[in-house]
């Protein structure tokens, strides 16, 4: 099966420590740029469902939910302190000046 890529924003629009959201095939995703590169996740904190695009931010290379300050590793999606809690990740790439994400079915 081939991977289908969806444009989220231009490369210039996603600056360091920035978040950008999109809805792809009905699925809300958030893309982050940190010093390690690009990451893409479902745009909902698993704790209470807060949208990272509304209340989230990048801090020290972690995706932080502003509701209850749950923090996730931007490389793996794993919660930084609770074993077994992890964000759904998605493949992300930069191509021809665009940030693109591929989503899998829910």
For the chain, the structural domain boundaries read 6-101
The pLDDT value given to residue 92? 97
Identify any residues that bridge with 57 across adjacent strands, giving them in sequence order: 64
Give every residue of the chain whose pLDDT is below 70, as ranges: 1, 105-106
Q: CA distances (Å), 39 to each of 20, 21, 31, 50, in order?
A: 11, 12, 6, 18
The reported pLDDT for the residue numbered 104 is: 75
Query: Residue 3 has what pLDDT?
Result: 81
Q: Taking a C-beta distance cutoff of 8 angstroms, is the pair 19, 31 a contact?
A: yes
Question: CATH code for 6-101?
Answer: 2.102.10.10
């Amino acid at each position: 099966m081939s991977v289908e890529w969806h444009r989220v924003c231009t490369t210039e629009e996603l600056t360091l420590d920035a978040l950008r959201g999109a809805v792809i095939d009905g699925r809300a995703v958030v893309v982050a740029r940190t010093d390690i590169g690009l990451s893409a996740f479902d745009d909902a904190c698993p704790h209470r469902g807060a949208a990272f695009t509304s209340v989230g931010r990048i801090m020290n290379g972690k995706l932080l939910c502003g509701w209850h300050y749950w923090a996730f590793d931007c490389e793996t999606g794993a919660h930084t302190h609770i074993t077994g809690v992890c964000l759904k990740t998605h493949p992300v790439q930069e191509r021809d000046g665009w940030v693109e994400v591929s989503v899998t079915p829910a």
